[in-house]
Structure formats: structure tokens, C-alpha cells
Structure 1
Amino acid sequence: MQKFAEIVGVANVLTDAADMAPYLTDWTGAWTGDAAAVVRPGSTDEVAALVLAAREAELPITVQSGNTSVAGGSVPGAGKPGLVLSMSRLNRIREIDSAARTATVDAGVVIEALQTATAEHGLDFPLMFGARGTAQIGGALATNAGGANVLRHGNARDLCLGIEAVLPSGEVVNGLSGLRKDNTGYDLRHLLMGSEGTLGIITGAVLKLVPTPKIRAAAFVALSEMDAALDVLNALQDATGGLVEAFEWLPRETVEAIRAHDPALRAPLEDAAETGILVELASTRPDDAATDESGEARLQSLMLATIEPLMERGLIVDGFFATSEQQRLDLWRLREAVLETIVAHGPFVALDVSLPLSAVPEVLRQAQPLAEESGLKPLLVGHLGDGNIHYAVVAAPGQTWDPETVRSFSDRLTDLVTAYGGSYSAEHGIGRAKAATLAKRKDPAQLATMRAIKAALDPESLLGRGILFSEV
């Protein structure tokens, strides 16, 4: 380890078991691996030097950002110790360009820290998910993370204008120009995003920023049935000119589980909604933030005016409208407590699927009896506006958790999702958890192309062994 210590300093090479432990188990506790050392570089040059030293020592590297992965992609495998390369020290916000509305950052910058910094400029980095207080930019880009407002702003790759990265050869790719148009060949930026640290190590990025909304309007509405969701979403989008930022599905069983886990969180409606939707509009227009003759912000009035006829048509049967910032935040606390609630139930599997929007109701109807037959209780939540359903299952009351039964259910659900043109990985990535599924289900030509790219850039399989490709 002497060579690594010379590069990053003795204090940033961890070899003691207790010191390494937090880096070797993922957030869910489902994946634990082994490492010869955890190294913490502080610059892109140090990352490049570490890659060369690791190649010479024939030690594979697992790149780790905030270690918030739920697919096992942030920790090393078991039995073949290599290096965990923690990006935590690469945490500089290099520049915020208010005029261009971009931020140039190190990969280890925590998402929430960037959002706090950009707020001082009246801007926002609009990537929103529960782990943003720990998750880092590099990991979000490497997994093409999503979240609650993909509907309006897109996934992580849609928010990135440029990338700096270290390749398995030790060479540095500098693509931080921030150009919005650059047709000079293969786009390495998009190749590295979503590759989960298997093709290169992202060390920096130029990110798009958006103006901070001047007004947000949030509501929790109960739909008559899941089939009404698209009509409600489209009506809100049409009436507001596309101002819907979030359209989050919270069914009754999930809300009840959240409140049982944390009774301090209030249910939005007195009568539990079988199909509950947290909807939020946001606008940067001063006119939308101005109050009308009723004393309400115009955006809130517009939301109410749009929802009222939907209630008259029977598509919406009840609703709670946030009239203060605290009430809006309370709705989001309920939504963001979902994963913590699921983890508290004990063993679980969180299947992250996406579907064509019109297929969501039917797939959910067919999946329910499959779960019941398997002795499983679904705890579901979804980014319904973009078709992403988080289908988590725990043992049903009185049932024993049986891994083999769960694997069988997961296969059957994946078959169902695939039959309707969906994906078995929407925003969590493949990691280690779905590597075997990818090998089995990926289109052969696409899989062969992925392997060819991996072999061309990383012939020694230095980066991310066992991530994406289970056999390497």
C-alpha cells in the first residue's frame, strides 16, 4: 500500500477492518464485499495516478460515491479484495456561472450541498430524491439517477453538459467545455453516464441549472382508480403549460405503513386514498406567484380550477391542498419516508421497473395476485408521471421470508413487465443485484455491443468487477 499512500497520503489509505467497514456494505445492508484498502483521492490527478498504480498491482477498483445505491453497485464483491476508491474528498464546487446557468463541480459534491450553493444565486440543480443529502454528483451521473421531478427536468444525464473522467488506462478525458452543441464524434459523456463506474471514473462535471421557482403548489388527491391517472396528469399539464414537476403515486397500503413506522407523519386525507397522488406544480413566473382577488397565489388557483372539473367528472374523489410551505414539506416528508419504512420491515426486495404510461394500471392489477400467491406484501410507490414504479415486497403478515420464493416472484414480475414493453431497471441501475438478469434478458446484440465497449476501454476489467457483468 506504500505506493497508494505516496499518492494520496497515509491518512487517506484505510486498511484497518473497522475503518473500512462503512465502505464495504451498501446502504440497504444486502451487499457486503472485501477490499485490500479504501483510498480517498483529492484530485483528478490523484485518481489517474491511483488507476495506474492499481493496474501495476493488479488490484481491481470499485468506485464509490455516497454509497446510497440500492442495487449493490457501490460496494466491492466478496472474495477478491481490490481497492474501493472513495470520491468523498473530491468535493469542490469549482464554479457557478449564473449567466450561463451552469455549475462545474467535482464528482464528490453532495447533491444537496450543490443545491444549497446554487440557491444563493437564485438557481437550482433539479435532481430530487430522498438520498440527495448523501448521494454525490458522480454516483448520480454514473447510474443516471432519476427521482421525483424527472417528469419535467429529466434524469441525471439530461442535466449534464460535460464530464471529466479517468479511463482505465489512466488517461484523463477532459470534456468540461459545457457546450450545448458539439458534434465532433462519439459522445463519451453519454457513454460514461449510466455505465456505473465500469468504463471510467467520473471526476468532474458541468451541470445545467434552472431558475429557482417563485411559487410551488402542492396537493394530495385521491383518484377514483389508477386508470384515471393519465387523464388527471394530462389535464394539469395542458392547463398549466407543462408546469407539473412531480406526480407521485402513494397507495393506501404504503401510506398506512409509513404512518405505522412514524406516527408523527400525518395522513393527508381523513379517508385513506386507495390511489393517492402527490402532485406539485412549480413556476418561475412572477405572475403565477402573485395573489389574485381571492388572496391565493395564481398558480394555486389554477391548480384548483383544473382539479374541480376533474372532481365533477369523478376522476378525483378527494383532495388536500397545501396552503403553506410547511404543509407542502409535510407532504414530501411522507413521500420520502417510503424507503426507510420498507427497510424497517426487515428483509425486502425493491424492484425498480418502468412501463409505458398506459400499461401501468394493468400490470399492477396482474402483479397483485402474483405477490399474494407468494406470501408477499407489496409496498409500492411510483414516479407515475414517467412510468417508474418501485415495486417493493416484504413478507406478508404471518408469512416467512423465503429467498427462493422471492426470486421466483421477481422473475414472474419481470416477465410481466417485459411483456408490456417495460424495463426491469428504471433508475436504480443494474449494479450487482441485476447483473444476472441483464445477462439473461438483455437483447443479445445490445449485450454483445456492451461487452465490446467494455473490452475496448477496460480489457483487464480493472473497474467495477461484477457490476453490470456478473461473470467479470
Structure 2
Amino acid sequence: MSSPTDFLDAARALLGPRGFTDDPELIDPWLTDWRGRFSGRALGLASPATTTEVAALVRLCAEHGVPIVPQGGNSGMSGGATPDPSGTAIILSLRRMDMIREIDPLARQVTCEAGVVLQRLHEEAEKYRLRFPLTLGGKGSATIGGLISTNAGGTQVLRHGTMRAQVLGLEAVLADGSVLDSLTPLKKDNRGFDLKQLLIGSEGTLGIVTAANLRLLPEIGGRVVAWAGLPSISAARQLLLHFEKVAGDSLEGFEVLPAHCLASVLAHLPDARPPLAGQHAWHALIELVAPADGAEQLATNAETMLATALEQELLEDAVIASNEGQAEAFWQLRDAIAPAERAIGPAMQHDISVPVAKMARFVEEAAPDIEQKFPGTTAVGFGHLGDGNIHFHVLAPKGAVRGEWEASEGKVISAYVHDLVTQFGGSISAEHGIGQMKRDELGRLGDPVALALMRSIKQALDPNGLLNPGKLVPLAQEGASP
């Protein structure tokens, strides 16, 4: 085994001063995750500019036994892009690989590198009257590589699916430095395993995504954004069923949030205003879209749908955004929930899913159960009701010390929430990944056969365990299958 100095010298020679540094001040901003829950140390920060450089760096790391922690926008929610405290790993930043290699307007496809920021991809697609059908609150920092590695979701999954559904082809560097090139999209291809699907959602533990071919859709001709006040999340479920029946494919998004979340956002954003005058226990944010030839009729249809829902007592009040500015203001209220709740104080955030038909009952039963079992806490759920994914946050009692509470009572609370989710036949990670935050819980609650397969695949593709160690794949329990 060579010394760290030998590796550092070789890495500098390979990537140059722009591509590699071990300066602690330059590395420090990337050592802590977005939520501030995990911090580590790193031997160096690598920022290659091409796939060839990534491959050469991975080969160098394999030669010297240096672990690699891939990192995109560092906006993940589960600590999946943060090194451990040992300081033996390097951070591999993909941010310099931000080229959009090609947009094919006729095929409605784009090939771009892993470091492209989601918002920029949206803007580039718009130039061709196209759109990329995935968005989320962190679109200004989240990168394509990070979205692929975590199989990100967002607010349009209801109609368009997760990131997995958007990926047509993939380029990735494997643990030995070889390059898997499956960028060419084929409608049909039965040459064995679909290896790109194996890499999507693997959080950099099986390979490092360097580029992708993604599907694009025609731009929308028009949209209507509405805000509805509701008495309960069960009422929101009934309203969702109503819109799914009468709106069909024009239903693009259906988000729910309780009064507590709205109040938190209004306190957090000084210029924000509540969409409705009255008080409501729950709220729904609804987006309808139409192609160009149906845009004129969309607003009329939306008004009819809401009026019918009001007549059937599916909602208490509703308003349609009068212009694009107000529509964006409605969405800002939804997108600001996570930072607004974080500003209140410590909390345990759970990115969970259960079967869609059970989600309302889960929230109605779990929230009071947790508040009774853990006095002083407040349990709130918000998010993507239409695809069964609710962000279920448990806020700490007043006076709780950030860091200390999460490591003590917070861990007990999360285990209890995950137990409840498992009893409902759900998942402890719907769209944020496992990372290091949920790895042990996956090991505790996951299906033993599935876990054994994950470990076998990890061993086969990364036998030396150098790709994002300590993330996603739970350690085998004593006596369990490898």
C-alpha cells in the first residue's frame, strides 16, 4: 500500500491544479451535508473535467486503495455524498462536468453530463420549446448525476414518474476505471440485463454516473394552478380521486400540506401571503396542464372541476392563480416547507411511502400516535399524496438542542416511524435515497433476500469496497448471507 503523499502527488499530476486540491479551506464547504446532520474529512477534492479523467482517477484510486465519495450539488437529504470522519477518502466532485453535449429536438432527447444543474437543463430545453419533466425545490443546485444516483422524485412524479423513467441511456465509470457506455437510446434492447437501471438509484456505490441521455417532452400550452382548503387529509384523498377521474392526463401535480406547514412558511418568508382567507386544517396544491390546442379550454375546465368538488363537499374553499406570478407564489409556499420547518428547530425528517390508498390513514393514525408517545413533539406530513410519498417530519419539543436531540430521542422516534411504515407495507425511502442516514435501518427492516442480493452485487462490481463506502448497502449481520 502506497503512502497518502504518493497518491496526492499522482492525483495532482493527473488532474492539475484545477482538478485536484488538498487545501483544507477549499475542501471544507463540501464536508457537511445540506441538512447539517453529517460531517466528515477528506484526503482531497477531485474535480475532473471529462469522463476520461474520471476513469483515470478511479484507476489511480484503485491502485492506491483510496475510497471515493462521488458528489454532485451536495443537496442530498440522507448524507449519501458526505465522507466519513477517517479522512482516508477523496471527494469526487462532478460539478465541472457540466456540458450539455446534444439536444435532439426531433427525437425529444438530451445528452448531458452529470454536473449539469437541473434548472439549467430546464432553461436549455425551453429554448427548443421542450421541457424536462422532473422538478423539485432544490432545482437550482441539484445535478443530473445526483438525481440519477438517488432516483429522485419531485412534484411531477404523479404523471411522469421518477428519474428512472426519464433516463434513456447512461455513461458511467466502474470501480476498475472501465467506462460503461450505454448512452444510445433504444426502444427495444434484449441483450441481457438493463445495466443502466442497476446504476440508477445506487448512490454511487456501484459506479460513477458521468453522463446521461434523457427524454424531453413538448412544452405545455398552458397550465392552471389552484389552491384548495380542506378539513382533513382524507378529504384531500377524495379530492385527488375526483381530479384523477375528471382531469385525466391533464393532472400534473397534487401536493398536500397541513395548516402547520403553511404557517411555518408564512413566518419564514416575509413577503408570502396565504392563498385563502379562511382557516383550513389541510391544503392541496393542484396543477393542471394542457397542450397548445387545449390551453384555452383548460381554465374553464379547471373552474368546472373545482365547482363540482365544492358542490360535492370535497373541499371547503379554493382559488385559481390569476397569473403566472401567483402560480409561482403558490408553488413557492410548497417548495419552502423544508427550510421553513428546519428554521423552527431540530426535527427528524422521514421520506416515506406507503400504498397510495393507505397514505391518508397512515398520517391520521401515525401523527397523534407519535405525539402521544413522545410528549412535546409535533408530527406533520406533507408532499406528494398522489404517488403515496409523504415527507413525515417530527419536530422536537421546545428547548431541544440541535444535534443532541436528533442523536438521542430523535433516533428512537425515527425507528418507531419506520416500524409504522413497514407495518403499512411501505418504504423508509421514497425519493431521497438511503445514504448513511438510513443504511442501518434498511438492514434492520429490509427483506433478507433483497439485502443479500444487494451485497452480492456490490461485491461483484466493487470488490474492494472503494465506491462510496458506508452508504446504501447495509453490512451483513453475523451469520447472514454475504
Name the TM-score, length of structure 2 as normaliser. 0.94
Matched, 1:446 2:445: no
**Could you give the per-residue CA deviations for residues 338-369 of structure 1, whole angstroms, max 9, x where no partner exists?**
11112212322210000111211221122122
1:370 Cα offset (Å): 3.2
Q: Is the 8 A contact 1:236 1:303 kept in 2?
A: no
Matches within 5 A, 1:253-402: 253-286=260-293, 288-290=294-296, 298-373=297-372, 374=374, 375-397=376-398, 402=405
% identity of equivalent residues? 39
Specify the SS of the correspondent of 2:326.
helix
Q: Which residue of 1 aligns with 2:462?
A: 458
Q: Supply the distance in 1 between the matched residues of 2:185 and 2:101 (Cα, whole angstroms).
A: 13
Q: Which residue of 2 aligns with 1:20?
A: 27
Deviating 4+ runs (over 6 angstroms): none
Q: Supply the distance in 2 between the matched residues of 1:241 and 1:358 (Cα, whole angstroms).
A: 18
Q: Supply the distance in 2 between the matched residues of 1:80 and 1:456 (Cα, whole angstroms).
A: 26
Q: Is the 8 A contact 1:167 1:201 kept in 2?
A: yes
1:379 Cα offset (Å): 3.9
Specify the SS of the correspondent of 1:131.
coil
1:285 Cα offset (Å): 3.5
Name the TM-score, length of structure 1 as normaliser. 0.96
Specify the SS of the correspondent of 1:130.
coil
Specify the SS of the correspondent of 1:96.
strand
Distance 1:268 1:438, change over 3 A: same
1:12 Cα offset (Å): 2.0
Q: Supply the distance in 2 between the matched residues of 1:317 and 1:48 (Cα, whole angstroms).
A: 58
Q: Give the aligned length.
A: 464
**Could you give the per-residue CA deviations for residues 261-300 of structure 1, whole angstroms, max 9, x where no partner exists?**
12311111111321100000111132x222xxxxxxx211
Given residue 433 of structure 1, which amino acid in structure 2 is its aligned partner?
M
Q: Is the 8 A contact 2:346 2:401 kept in 1?
A: no
Matched, 1:42 2:49: yes
1:7 Cα offset (Å): 2.0
Q: Which residue of 2 aligns with 1:294?
A: none
1:400 Cα offset (Å): 6.1
Gaps of 5+ in 2: 1-7, 477-482
1:378 Cα offset (Å): 2.5
Greater shift after overlay, 375-384 or 432-441? 375-384
Gaps of 5+ in 1: 291-297
Q: Supply the distance in 2 between the matched residues of 1:398 and 1:313 (Cα, whole angstroms).
A: 44
Specify the SS of the correspondent of 1:333.
helix
Specify the SS of the correspondent of 2:189.
coil
Superposed CA RMSD in Å reads 1.4
Distance 1:179 1:314, change over 3 A: same
- Match of residue 164, structure 2, among 157, 167, 176: 157
1:399 Cα offset (Å): 5.7
Q: Which residue of 2 aligns with 1:116?
A: 123
Q: Which residue of 2 aligns with 1:417?
A: 421
Q: Is the 8 A contact 1:224 1:315 kept in 2?
A: no
Q: Which residue of 2 aligns with 1:104?
A: 111
1:333 Cα offset (Å): 0.8
Distance 1:369 1:228, change over 3 A: closer
1:241 Cα offset (Å): 2.7
- Match of residue 55, structure 1, among 39, 55, 62: 62
Q: Supply the distance in 2 between the matched residues of 1:379 and 1:78 (Cα, whole angstroms).
A: 33
Given residue 144 of structure 1, which amino acid in structure 2 is its aligned partner?
N
